[in-house]
A = this chain, B = another copy of it.
Amino acid sequence: MFSDIHKTAGVCYPQGFTAAGVRAGIKKNGNLDVAVIYTEKKAAVAGVFTKNLVAAAPVHLSKIVVGTGTAHAVVANAGCANACTGEQGIRDAEKMATIAAQELNCRADDVIVASTGLIGSNLPMDKMEAGIKDAVKNLSKDGSVNAGNAIVTTDTYSKACATEVEIGGVQVRFGAIAKGSGMIRPDMATMLCFITTDADIDQKLLQQALRDATEVSFNCMTVDGDMSTNDSVVVLANGAAGNKKIVERGDDYEKFYETLKNICVEMAKRIASDGEGATKFITINVTGAESFADAKKVGMAVANSPLCGTAIFGTDPNVGRFICAVGYSGVQIIPEKVIIKFGDIVVYEKGLVTKFDEEATRKILSEHDIVIDIELGLGDAAATVYTCDLSFQYIKINADYTT
């Protein structure tokens, strides 16, 4: 579904979108750091943002843009999060939008703004201005890779994908770029994901689809349980595909939603597997819950447990830690009904740690991709949570500022 060709096309795969990524000197290492995504045809816009009450200036601004219902562009930078920057921060975020709007000949409130990087520093607006102008000049159908690289911080690679789906006899395209990866020093923020599509869809439905897709993807992913000040997921739908506009729930909406969801899940998985210091990618399937919320709560308790994370890093089948996290998740589980599997090996059931084959279990935990199934035996609801292990490298990345 997500090929390498699609990955290169990224946000420029849907018709009518161009992108660029340039060096503005905001990242200390001199890498690409300012990205612009643009659609000449006005797009319906939807966004989901951090629930952190200490939200960064660009988040405040972008919420207003989403409130208008339409947008022409995204302007984003890495290297400075423009968070905890007070009124100056708001002015700087507004200026980013204004500069982009002037260059693109659109309104400032048609420009989504996003920043990621160190918290507490002001944006170098002279560099930013030159960078945005440079990016707009460089907008092209081949610009997605550079745009993706311009928003990464300590990610080990830029995340991107694209796909298409037939809606009402018309081929509709989707593309995305994203960055993770936990909150990190010196770049503390963030998860950013920008999705483009040439589908024609009502803005309210678009917002609903994005909210629902986020719930089962980005909100089911964790690296360290920390939630950044800048997390933003934004989708632009410019209608260039020419499909009959999706204005209500039904087959067309379902196809649209499924595709958007798959994109979000794919990006979430890549972000989790590239978590700070990650050596393994862990998928936790929780089934048999009374509700999705319960299933997710159990999965997140296991995913956020430093003891489970270190056990997997150490290839240690310490089953007690896993049932223990299930037990304190806050969900009213019944220990005797719970079944836990590492890969296809049952390691806990009927209230007991089983006499599992330790050698075979270690082999499963030594793989890069590890699947843990947790059946609660209480209902029909399920959730899947994505995470990574907790390694020495995580501590190193996050502590070694002074050395």
| Interface residue ranges, A against B (CB under 8 Å) | 51-55, 81, 83-86, 118-121, 183, 185-186, 188, 224-229, 304-307, 310-311, 313-316, 318-321, 323-328, 332-335, 348, 350-353, 362, 390-392, 394-396, 398-403
Contacts and interface: CB of A to CB of B under 8 A. Distances in A.
Q: How many copies does the complex hold?
A: 2
Among A119, A320, A334, A350, residue most surrounded by chain B Cβ atoms (within 10 Å)? A320
A314 to B, nearest CB: 3
Contacts of A401: 311, 314-316, 318
A176 B315 CA distance: 38
17 contacts: A51-B328, A52-B324, A53-B334, A54-B323, A55-B327, A84-B351, A119-B353, A186-B318, A188-B320, A226-B306, A226-B321, A226-B328, A229-B320, A311-B399, A315-B401, A391-B395, A395-B395
Contact of A304 (B119, B225, B390, B403): B225
- Shortest Cβ-Cβ A-B pairs, 3 listed: A119-B320, A314-B399, A120-B353
B320 A83 contact: yes
A316 to B, nearest CB: 4
B320 A84 contact: yes
Contacts of A224: 305-307
A119 B321 CA distance: 8
A373 B226 CA distance: 20
Contacts of A351: 84, 86
